Structure 1
Amino acid sequence: MKNLILIIMLLAVGMTAKAHVGSAGVQMQGQAGPYKVLVSVEPPDVIPGTAKITVFIENGIAKKVLARPIYFYSGDKGAPSPDELAQVAGQTGQFQGAVWLMEWGSSSAQIQVEGEQGKGELIVPIVAVSTAEREMPKHLGIGLSILGVLLFLLMITTIGASVSDGILRPGETLTFAQKRKRWVNMGIATVLCSVILYGGSSWWDSWAEEYKQWLYRPIQGNAAISENGDQRVFQLKIDTTGFHSQRRGSMLSTLIPDHGKLMHTFLVRTPGMDAFAHIHPERKDSTTFEAYLPKLPGGKYLVYSDIVQRSGFAETIVDTIDIPEQQAKSNPLQVTAEEDTYVVTDPIDSPGAVPLDENVVVCGKPGTKTVFKDGSYAVWEGKPDKPLDAGKPYQLTFEFFNPDGSACYPEPYLGMTGHVAVVRTDGSVYIHLHPTGTFAMAAEKSFKDRMADTATTVKAPAPAIFRDSIDRYLAKLKAMPMEEREVFLMTEMGMYDVKDGAMSGMDHGNRISFPYSFPKAGRYRIFLQLKRNAKVLTGVYDVKVKDAVTL
């Protein structure tokens, strides 16, 4: 039986999180021409609203940084002029400002840098949706009510005076007829003003109700386990109830792959956080995705499934699931994708209590190393007993080593040098990170393609034709040898240039950083995934996060 309270908590958090669970901000590390930059965006929770943008210039000297919003449906030609970000006093290379996000849906911030090394720009994908309703402060409401009553009375008395006292000559007094006329006109004015006020109130209430229809509601999904012989199969069926009211239309037929996969699903056993899987369910129909399960131990699992729409709008579907124990079998387990992987580690409250299994790693902390099952290991830079601050941007940096201690250069895994999944122990925070940042690479590519299109209004594709083309693309990718597929994905995502059969422009070392800001205090488990000798390796780390000290 599912834990109803946990589901409600996760879905409530998901409503404020959009593509990430509990992490609304966006961090991006990339190149703006000759400048290496780190961009942090705090999107508003009400649209229209302002997004706070902070840009850190990591190399070179920038003289001016501009930012402007670009919306997927109106493109580059329909975007407003950029605003200049102010340089933060006393902080070299740091610029800060805000841009207005006026449209609901898939948006982005175009960052333009001008300096001694020339000009450069980059696109930061943003999910712009309303997730909150603003309540008027009580003291402001009282003050406006008093002012409104005074204006109402002033209007009525002014109209009454205009037909009586206002037309008297000096020394004259009001006659009975004039007094009656004043009261009649004041009565008429009272009725008319009341009707106007009632109409205004009704308009405001209807507008507020319409606004509620635009409040973001996360996609619901129902996870289940079925049996295919003695093989366990994970199934996620998307609930389309309410799609019409949420204006989602045929979006499930226009999903796009991210890192070559239409869906990334992460499974984390709760409450111990001691079993983890990263699998890639394949689409069986518009609402159903399935994947063979690896040899995970039985128990209750948190489910996080990432998808990306054609517009670059990324979402995470959240659920919980009970996984039965794997029955003994003689034949090897089937896999849906070569990249599917799992790991077992020690429970978060019982360090070192690791079961004996062929796919076990011991959990580490910042400043310590985690040894993978092939003897290689990774070290998370930092101090093991020092908690991190919530809300502070960090570079989660790991160094990768061979068993003999020499530097190990990770092989591409789904087109990236590494992946990280961050999960808070209560499940209320989840995010899938890459060295480039907290956004989906497919979203960035969607916006780059959209900006290259000069049309001011994007054309919606035919859902059936679009879906068929994506399915053929995925089948082509799956048929490729792994090495060829990785090179293809890296080239397609614009990560590296491939010239004469070799990769160029590749910042490739044994040190990998993932930009992230922990949204709130608590205990977190970090799942690091790298590839060596064509095998995906998973390391596990624990960290405590405390509330930031405000001065």
Structure 2
Amino acid sequence: MKKSILIWTISAIVYLGIVIIGFNVYASMNPNTEKEATHTPTEQEEENMDHQNSHHSHENHSENTTSEVTPKVSYANGEITIELKDINNNVPELEVSHEKYMHFIVVSSDLNEYHHVHPEKTGDGIYKQKVRLSGQSYKAFVDIKPKGLQYSVKPIEFHVGEANHKHVENDLAADTEFTKTINGQTVELITDSLEVSKEIALNFDVKDVTPEPYLGALGHVVVLDEEGEKYIHVHPVADDKTVFKTQFDKPGTYKLWAEFKFGEQVHVYPFVLEVKE
């Protein structure tokens, strides 16, 4: 009996030794094994990941996010003024997003007039931009990334002149033709069925022409619902594609503006979409 126990003990020790030796041999042949398991991304790798993530749909979830920054918008003498203050009445610091500190989208109440500009800082929390607007109502969207503060893009209504002091209702009709030519360059929007709560790929066929890089991407797409309340700003899924992915949380009519740069000039292609249940 004692002899059997002794043999079993010796066998167990020999087996354990073989396992330890085998592991050490494997580790010596694969010196990066432990490093890979505990690898911490470098600053450059984090920057690359941020750049990849920036291509994803960037939507406004105003119903779920409390903004800690409140923009004020005014217009006078052909110039837009934006003033930024946080909840403590301090001036927030902004991060660069697609090469700019601020993307300012302004549309007329009938959604026919569209501007995407980048106001410059002129003072503490003050940004200004020259833009020619006609006498009617507008909705503005101040698209920024305040450092360390929550923020969601919300529509800000303002009026120009005395003609209109009320945001009119729109009667948009969905497009039946999805090929548009602007300044001689044709773009076709190709997409599957537009349904609520499903990821939708918006594929823009630029007809064998590669757009020039514009604000860190091959293009930009802005979408508003018919009331000008739901704001979506989406970027391409990759550096070499003019494909954008997003989704809609309610049915209805939406207007889309696709921006591409050809020959040093930015072309804006408007489309009206009908999203169904």
**Per-residue deviation at 1:259?**
1.8
Query: 2:76 pairs with 216, 219, 226, which one?
Result: 226
CA distance in structure 1 between the aligned counterparts of 2:154 and 2:229, rounded to whole angstroms: 13
More helix by share: 1
AA partner of residue 71 (structure 2): G
CA distance in structure 1 between the aligned counterparts of 2:148 and 2:53, rounded to whole angstroms: 14
Query: 1:379 pairs with 174, 182, 188, which one?
Result: 188
The residue aligned with 1:301 is 138
The residue aligned with 1:528 is 258
Query: 2:102 pairs with 259, 263, 272, which one?
Result: 263
Query: Are residues 1:349 and 2:155 paired?
Result: no
Q: Residues 399 and 312 of structure 1: is their aligned pair in 2 closer, same or farther, counting only changes over 3 Å?
A: farther
- Counterpart contact for 2:85–2:91, Cα < 8 Å: no
Query: 1:216 pairs with 57, 62, 66, which one?
Result: 66
**Per-residue deviation at 1:390?**
1.1
Q: How does 1:185-224 map to 2 (within 5 A)?
A: 216-217=66-67, 219-224=69-74
RMSD: 3.5
- Counterpart contact for 1:251–1:309, Cα < 8 Å: no
**Per-residue deviation at 1:310?**
3.2
- Counterpart contact for 1:308–1:314, Cα < 8 Å: yes
- Counterpart contact for 1:423–1:430, Cα < 8 Å: yes
The residue aligned with 2:15 is none
Query: Are residues 1:237 and 2:43 paired?
Result: no
- Counterpart contact for 1:219–1:317, Cα < 8 Å: no
CA distance in structure 2 between the aligned counterparts of 1:434 and 1:236, rounded to whole angstroms: 24
**Per-residue deviation at 1:348?**
6.0
**Per-residue deviation at 1:544?**
1.0
CA distance in structure 2 between the aligned counterparts of 1:522 and 1:282, rounded to whole angstroms: 35
The residue aligned with 1:433 is 234
Query: 1:287 pairs with 125, 141, 150, which one?
Result: 125
CA distance in structure 2 between the aligned counterparts of 1:516 and 1:219, rounded to whole angstroms: 25
The residue aligned with 2:204 is 398
Q: Residues 304 and 218 of structure 1: is their aligned pair in 2 closer, same or farther, counting only changes over 3 Å?
A: farther
AA partner of residue 380 (structure 1): L
The residue aligned with 2:248 is 518
Q: Residues 280 and 324 of structure 1: is their aligned pair in 2 closer, same or farther, counting only changes over 3 Å?
A: farther
Query: Are residues 1:409 and 2:210 paired?
Result: yes
AA partner of residue 157 (structure 2): T
**Per-residue deviation at 1:222?**
2.1
AA partner of residue 206 (structure 2): F
**Per-residue deviation at 1:314?**
5.3
Unpaired segments of 5 or more residues in structure 1?
1-75, 78-110, 112-121, 133-214, 326-346, 352-363, 402-406, 437-494, 496-506
Q: How does 1:31-430 map to 2 (within 5 A)?
A: 216-217=66-67, 219-227=69-77, 232-240=78-86, 243-244=87-88, 252=92, 254-270=93-109, 272-293=110-131, 295-311=132-148, 315-324=152-161, 349=171, 365=175, 368-372=178-182, 374-382=183-191, 388-401=194-207, 407-430=208-231
**Per-residue deviation at 1:370?**
1.2
**Per-residue deviation at 1:369?**
0.5
**Per-residue deviation at 1:220?**
2.4
1:67-116 deviation per Cα after TM superposition (whole angstroms, max 9, x unaligned): xxxxxxxxx79xxxxxxxxxxxxxxxxxxxxxxxxxxxxxxxxx9xxxxx
CA distance in structure 2 between the aligned counterparts of 1:518 and 1:524, rounded to whole angstroms: 9
Q: Residues 431 and 218 of structure 1: is their aligned pair in 2 closer, same or farther, counting only changes over 3 Å?
A: farther
CA distance in structure 1 between the aligned counterparts of 2:95 and 2:129, rounded to whole angstroms: 18
Partner-residue secondary structure (3-state), 1:309? coil
CA distance in structure 2 between the aligned counterparts of 1:123 and 1:304, rounded to whole angstroms: 22
CA distance in structure 2 between the aligned counterparts of 1:307 and 1:322, rounded to whole angstroms: 22
CA distance in structure 2 between the aligned counterparts of 1:308 and 1:522, rounded to whole angstroms: 29
CA distance in structure 1 between the aligned counterparts of 2:255 and 2:196, rounded to whole angstroms: 15
CA distance in structure 1 between the aligned counterparts of 2:149 and 2:219, rounded to whole angstroms: 22
CA distance in structure 1 between the aligned counterparts of 2:91 and 2:176, rounded to whole angstroms: 41
1:370-402 deviation per Cα after TM superposition (whole angstroms, max 9, x unaligned): 111x1111101137xx6x21110011111113x
CA distance in structure 2 between the aligned counterparts of 1:540 and 1:518, rounded to whole angstroms: 18
CA distance in structure 2 between the aligned counterparts of 1:131 and 1:233, rounded to whole angstroms: 30
Partner-residue secondary structure (3-state), 2:221? strand
**TM-score, scaled relative to structure 2:** 0.69
- Counterpart contact for 1:423–1:431, Cα < 8 Å: yes
**Per-residue deviation at 1:309?**
2.4
- Counterpart contact for 2:69–2:149, Cα < 8 Å: no
**Per-residue deviation at 1:324?**
3.6
- When the two structures are aligned, how many residues end up with a matched partner? 221
Partner-residue secondary structure (3-state), 1:308? coil
Unpaired segments of 5 or more residues in structure 2?
1-39, 42-48, 163-168
**Identity over aligned residues, as a percent?**
22
CA distance in structure 2 between the aligned counterparts of 1:537 and 1:123, rounded to whole angstroms: 25
The residue aligned with 1:469 is none
1:140-187 deviation per Cα after TM superposition (whole angstroms, max 9, x unaligned): xxxxxxxxxxxxxxxxxxxxxxxxxxxxxxxxxxxxxxxxxxxxxxxx
- Counterpart contact for 1:366–1:543, Cα < 8 Å: no
